[in-house]
């Protein structure tokens, strides 16, 4: 009800109050008997509820006058009359007091409302706000108001004025907390400081023409000044940042056009991380990652990875680090996933921007999409690694596994290599990363299997799983838990050897560049597989050739027991040139052992030549010296390249119960004689190696073997076999082995040499050939 009353116009109240008096006067004139003086007291009381105290006092005075005039002084006792006038007077005084209290309450409420309004509107520019504050103070608190705000940056003061002019006066002392009131001819002037946290930010002046400021006014001022100051300060700060933004706005256009010209992506962010400026390139890259999401949300939504695969937290991003620590970051690579699922790499640099007080105010980031360079580098690195790995043709399968592991570590979850076997069946040969792949290496890959498709079509297949798909490829992907697979045929020059597969459990976009690299790797593997097959074939041919160069079976010679050993060098890439031959010519039994320099097919061919020459010379010539000279001639003239050979040649004849013979050595370790009694002696024959010099020297030896005596011919593969400690097996160990050997058979003697080599764990790095002939 009071609110509704309060809303009524003061004029109505004045009319009501005076109306009451008019009614009393008229009633009193018409019915002088009726005393209405007591009713008059209602007028000031009513006025006191709504009107200003000064008006209420006037109404009260009028009520007292009415009461005095209405009295019938003749008929009424004096005391009664005094009481009636006293009641009206007391009522009037009460009404004035009520009006005073009410006015003060109303003023406080007004002030509250004003301040609330100020705080709510502190987003207005301070120049506007000081005017609003001044206007709000007039006329409720003063006839004139002047609010002055001094911004901290030294710009001129902002002044807001309302009502009558506030006369200039001494500036309030910043150290004084409260307001002061001065009076002059024009009236009363209140001045007080505006403070924020002990900082003197401005002043307020209020002027009244008619009456002074009371203690209540000063108290109100003190209470209000702090809040006004705060509102003004807020506005100033806000205005400052807006001015900055506005300034940026004016500079924004040319700054934007500058960064738009830059080939790199550029963003400038404020201290909160909000994007102030970004150029077209930055928008493009961010769109790739986050579509049309707001640029500031990009890093949170797409934190990405370091290039080593570890996740990036939002705090790791260079712009965040620059903002936090002020560091300048140069060229760090980050991977992020584009919306289409492919991965991109950006190289990011960032630096803080500082304000005039050296505080970090913003950060500029420059980034480039280095995905293509990254891909190029990776492709080069892969191909270099693949080339290095495939340098060893005879270990190609192990190398393929290493290549798969390398690829799986970087881009896929599983790698598989299927190769055609010798029978043409396609089987899984190598698997990396996919421990739970449902593949059976024993089984041939069935028709319809993606690997079989890849091989038969001889083309790269990029598979993406379709969960509803009925194709065998979909079934295969589902069975192995793969989401994608990339298959490239291992083929070269129309020959397909199998296929290589990279599969992922998650989404993977098969970038054309990566697919190209992958195909190159597959082709490189195809070359290596072919090399390896050629190499295996060459090895097989050379070995077969050499085996053909050895006697198919040992001759059956009465009275002379034979045992032979030929052991190719273990793990050697090529076959060596060791050979031996056992044949009869001109009633002599020939035991020949030799070593052609070099390896491989060429050495095998020379071996064939030497062996043939030996047989021809044995039949055409008499005497070992001549025979050896003939072989020398043949090798010299017909052997390819600078090859030469060494030879030990024994020509044995039976004489009664003993065997006699000649021995020739051409650059070859001299044969050993193992006597029946166990003693071992070397045959003292020497001579120049064959096939290099026209004239050779040959100092033959003669020997005589009794029953149980054995002649041992060997190649240097025996004596040059390597022991684990790096030393050579050597002639001494051979000598010792033969000394220990049982002499009851040729095989026993041969076994003794083999056992000695094995016991000493001697590793032959060259072929080993041994011929033992024992007289029965």
The footprint of another protein (CB under 8 A) covers 595, 597-599, 642-644, 646, 666-669, 686-689, 692-693, 696-697, 716, 720, 726, 728, 765-766
Structure tokens at 252: 């924004």
Q: Is 404 helix (H, G, I), strand (E, B) or coil?
A: helix
123 backbone dihedrals φ, ψ, rounded to 5°:
-75, -5
Closest approach, Cβ 722 to another protein, in A, equals 8
In angstroms, the CA 674 to CA 681 distance is: 7
565 backbone dihedrals φ, ψ, rounded to 5°:
-140, 130
Closest approach, Cβ 668 to another protein, in A, equals 7
Is the CB of 564 or the CB of 597 nearer to another protein? 597
Count of beta carbons in the 10 Å neighbourhood of residue 559: 13
Is the CB of 473 or the CB of 542 nearer to another protein? 542
Q: Give yes or no for a contact between 420 and 455, defined as CB atoms under 8 angstroms apart.
A: yes
Q: Give yes or no for a contact between 420 and 461, defined as CB atoms under 8 angstroms apart.
A: no
- Cα angle 521, 524, 529 (rounded to 5 degrees) comes to 125
Structure tokens at 749: 């003697």
Closest approach, Cβ 640 to another protein, in A, equals 13
Structure tokens at 512: 């054309």
Closest approach, Cβ 726 to another protein, in A, equals 4
Is the CB of 368 or the CB of 766 nearer to another protein? 766
Q: Give yes or no for a contact between 531 and 393, defined as CB atoms under 8 angstroms apart.
A: yes
Residues 6+ apart with CB under 8 A from 618: 583, 585, 586, 588, 590, 627, 651
Closest approach, Cβ 667 to another protein, in A, equals 4
CB contact burial 521-535 (16+ within 10 A = b; e otherwise): bbbbbbbbbbbbeeb
In angstroms, the CA 364 to CA 349 distance is: 8
Structure tokens at 208: 């009244």
In angstroms, the CA 761 to CA 776 distance is: 32
Is the CB of 368 or the CB of 716 nearer to another protein? 716
Closest approach, Cβ 717 to another protein, in A, equals 10
Count of beta carbons in the 10 Å neighbourhood of residue 402: 17
Closest approach, Cβ 526 to another protein, in A, equals 29
Is the CB of 371 or the CB of 643 nearer to another protein? 643
**How many Cα atoms are found within 13 Å in the side-chain-facing hemisphere of 453?**
15
Closest approach, Cβ 605 to another protein, in A, equals 17
Closest approach, Cβ 692 to another protein, in A, equals 6
Closest approach, Cβ 685 to another protein, in A, equals 11
Is the CB of 535 or the CB of 692 nearer to another protein? 692
Is the CB of 166 or the CB of 672 nearer to another protein? 672
DSSP string, 674-715: E-TTS-EEE---EE--BSS-SS--EE-EEEEE-TT-EEEEE-
Structure tokens at 515: 């697919």
The alpha carbon of residue 141 and the mean position of all alpha carbons in its chain are separated, in whole angstroms, by: 67
Is the CB of 275 or the CB of 643 nearer to another protein? 643
Structure tokens at 481: 């838990």
Closest approach, Cβ 394 to another protein, in A, equals 15
DSSP 173: P
Closest approach, Cβ 592 to another protein, in A, equals 17
- Residue count of the chain: 776
Which residues, listed in sequence order, are joined to residue 499 by a DSSP beta bridge? 418, 489
The alpha carbon of residue 716 and the mean position of all alpha carbons in its chain are separated, in whole angstroms, by: 59
Is the CB of 357 or the CB of 694 nearer to another protein? 694
Residues 6+ apart with CB under 8 A from 27: 34, 36
Closest approach, Cβ 588 to another protein, in A, equals 24
Closest approach, Cβ 770 to another protein, in A, equals 18
Is the CB of 111 or the CB of 696 nearer to another protein? 696
Q: Give yes or no for a contact between 235 and 123, defined as CB atoms under 8 angstroms apart.
A: yes
Q: Give yes or no for a contact between 360 and 340, defined as CB atoms under 8 angstroms apart.
A: no
Look at the block and give the residue holding tokens 């072989």: 631
In angstroms, the CA 389 to CA 558 distance is: 56
Strands 495-504 and 484-492: antiparallel
Closest approach, Cβ 686 to another protein, in A, equals 6
Closest approach, Cβ 703 to another protein, in A, equals 19
Is the CB of 150 or the CB of 735 nearer to another protein? 735
447 backbone dihedrals φ, ψ, rounded to 5°:
-60, 145
H helix runs in 122-214, sequence order: 126-137
Count of beta carbons in the 10 Å neighbourhood of residue 17: 27
Closest approach, Cβ 596 to another protein, in A, equals 8
In angstroms, the CA 550 to CA 543 distance is: 11
Is the CB of 193 or the CB of 687 nearer to another protein? 687
The alpha carbon of residue 489 and the mean position of all alpha carbons in its chain are separated, in whole angstroms, by: 31
Is the CB of 497 or the CB of 599 nearer to another protein? 599
Is the CB of 469 or the CB of 730 nearer to another protein? 730
Is the CB of 97 or the CB of 573 nearer to another protein? 573
Structure tokens at 516: 């190209």
Quote the strand ranges of 375-444, DSSP E: 414-420, 426-432
In angstroms, the CA 317 to CA 307 distance is: 13
Count of beta carbons in the 10 Å neighbourhood of residue 214: 11
Is the CB of 44 or the CB of 691 nearer to another protein? 691
Answer positive or negative: Cα dihedral of 135, 141, 145, 148.
Answer: negative
Is the CB of 44 or the CB of 687 nearer to another protein? 687
Closest approach, Cβ 614 to another protein, in A, equals 18
Is the CB of 92 or the CB of 597 nearer to another protein? 597
């Amino acid at each position: 009800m009071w609110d509704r009353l309060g809303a009524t116009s003061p004029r109505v109240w004045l009319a009501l109050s005076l109306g009451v008096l008019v009614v009393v006067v008229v009633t009193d004139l018409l019915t002088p008997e009726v005393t209405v003086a007591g009713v008059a007291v209602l007028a000031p009381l009513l006025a006191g509820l709504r009107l200003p105290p000064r008006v209420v006092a006037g109404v009260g005075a009028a009520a007292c006058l009415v009461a005095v005039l209405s009295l019938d002084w003749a008929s009424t006792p004096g005391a009664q009359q005094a009481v009636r006038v006293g009641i009206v007077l007391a009522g009037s005084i009460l009404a004035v007091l009520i009006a005073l209290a009410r006015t003060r309450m109303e003023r406080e409420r007004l002030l509250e409302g004003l301040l609330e309004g100020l705080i709510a509107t502190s987003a207005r520019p301070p120049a506007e706000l000081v005017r609003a504050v001044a206007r709000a103070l007039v006329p409720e608190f003063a006839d004139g108001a002047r609010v002055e705000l001094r911004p901290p940056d030294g710009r001129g003061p902002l002044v807001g004025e309302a009502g009558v002019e506030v006369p200039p006066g001494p500036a309030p002392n910043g150290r004084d907390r409260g307001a002061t009131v001065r009076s002059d001819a024009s009236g009363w002037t209140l001045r007080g400081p505006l403070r924020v946290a002990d900082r003197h930010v401005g002043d307020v002046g209020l002027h009244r023409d008619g009456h002074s400021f009371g203690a209540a006014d000063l108290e109100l001022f003190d209470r209000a000044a702090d809040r006004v100051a705060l509102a003004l300060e807020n506005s100033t700060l806000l205005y400052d940042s807006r001015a900055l933004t506005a300034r940026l706005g004016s500079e924004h256009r040319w700054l934007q056009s500058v960064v738009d010209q830059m080939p790199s992506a550029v963003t400038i962010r404020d201290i909160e991380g909000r994007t102030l400026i970004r150029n077209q390139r930055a928008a493009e890259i961010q769109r790739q990652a986050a579509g049309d999401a707001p640029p500031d949300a990009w890093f949170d939504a797409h934190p990405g990875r370091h290039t080593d695969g570890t996740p990036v937290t939002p705090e790791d991003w260079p712009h965040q680090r620059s903002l936090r620590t002020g560091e300048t970051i140069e060229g760090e690579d980050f991977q992020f996933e584009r919306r289409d699922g492919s991965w991109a790499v950006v190289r990011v640099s960032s630096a803080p921007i500082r304000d005039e007080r050296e505080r970090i105010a913003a950060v500029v980031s420059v980034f480039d999409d280095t995905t293509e360079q990254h891909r190029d580098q990776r492709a080069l690195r892969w191909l270099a690694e693949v080339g290095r790995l495939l340098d060893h043709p005879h270990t190609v399968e192990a190398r393929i596994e290493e290549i798969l592991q390398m690829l799986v570590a970087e881009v896929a979850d599983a790698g598989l290599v299927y190769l055609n076997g010798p029978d043409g069946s396609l089987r899984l040969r190598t698997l990396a990363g996919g421990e739970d792949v449902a593949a059976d290496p024993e089984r041939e890959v069935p028709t319809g299997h993606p690997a079989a498709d890849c091989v038969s079509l001889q083309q790269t297949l990029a598979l993406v799983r379709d969960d509803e798909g009925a194709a065998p490829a979909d079934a295969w992907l589902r069975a192995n838990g793969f989401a994608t697979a990339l298959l490239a045929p291992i083929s070269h020059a129309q020959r397909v050897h199998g296929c290589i597969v990279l599969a992922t459990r998650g989404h993977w976009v098969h970038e054309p560049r990566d697919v190209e690299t992958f195909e190159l790797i597959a082709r490189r593997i195809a070359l290596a597989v072919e090399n390896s097959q050629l190499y295996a074939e060459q090895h097989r041919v050379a070995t077969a050739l050499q085996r053909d160069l050895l006697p198919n079976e040992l001759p059956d010679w009465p009275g002379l027991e034979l045992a032979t050993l030929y052991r190719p060098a273990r793990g050697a890439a090529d076959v060596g040139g060791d050979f031996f031959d056992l044949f009869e010519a001109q009633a002599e039994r020939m035991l020949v052992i030799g070593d052609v320099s070099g390896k491989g097919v060429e050495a095998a061919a020379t071996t064939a030549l030497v062996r043939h020459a030996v047989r021809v010379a044995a039949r055409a010539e008499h005497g070992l010296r001549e025979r050896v000279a003939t072989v020398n001639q043949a090798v010299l003239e017909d052997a390819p390249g600078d090859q030469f050979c060494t030879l030990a040649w024994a020509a044995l004849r039976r004489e009664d119960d003993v065997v006699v013979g000649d021995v020739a050595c051409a650059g070859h370790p001299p044969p050993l004689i193992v006597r029946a009694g166990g003693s071992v002696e070397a045959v003292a024959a020497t001579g120049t190696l064959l096939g290099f010099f026209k004239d050779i020297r040959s100092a033959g030896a003669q020997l005589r073997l009794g029953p149980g005596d054995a002649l041992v011919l060997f190649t240097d593969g025996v004596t040059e076999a390597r022991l684990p400690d790096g030393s050579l097996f050597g002639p001494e160990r051979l000598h010792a082995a033969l000394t220990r050997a049982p002499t009851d058979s040729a095989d026993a003697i041969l076994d003794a040499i083999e056992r000695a080599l094995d016991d000493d764990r001697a590793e032959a790095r060259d072929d080993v050939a041994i011929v033992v002939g024992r007289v029965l």
